[in-house]
Amino acid sequence: MKNQEVRGLEGFAEVTVNGVLFNGKYYTCSLAIKEKWFEQAAKTSHWTLSAYMNEEERLMILLPSQEQYIPCLMLTRRIVMPEIESYQTKIQQLKEARKDKKRLTSRN
């Protein structure tokens, strides 16, 4: 989504322990989960990213390092650290199980 034309509500989104805050609502995205933004915000401090609300009312945040907008989804309820940690643990377990299965099938 490079060089995407920005339309709609523009401003800054704040990365917090509770999610990406924009216009009074919290959002998340796959990159925030993958890079553990919310955990980082809990340990250090919050930070801001350029953002806008597109025509479909989906939050788009700008990744400064890539000059690229990525979509975010609105959180319907507040997330808490134990839930994030549990989710990440389950993902790691699934990845390990998948590796084990591939190893077993490659031996046969």
Q: What is the pLDDT of residue 81?
A: 58
Write down the domain spans for the chain.
Answer: 10-79
* Inter-residue contact 35 to 66 (CB < 8 Å): no
Task: Tell me how far apart the 2 most distant CA atoms of the chain are, in Å.
Answer: 57
Collect all residues with Cβ–Cβ distance below 8 Å to 42 and sequence separation of at least 6: 17, 81
Q: What is the pLDDT of residue 1?
A: 42
Q: What are phi and psi of 77, to 5 degrees?
A: -150, 165
* Inter-residue contact 51 to 22 (CB < 8 Å): yes
Question: What does the pLDDT look like over 53-108, one tens digit per residue?
Answer: 877 777 788 776 667 888 888 887 666 556 667 777 788 888 889 988 888 888 76
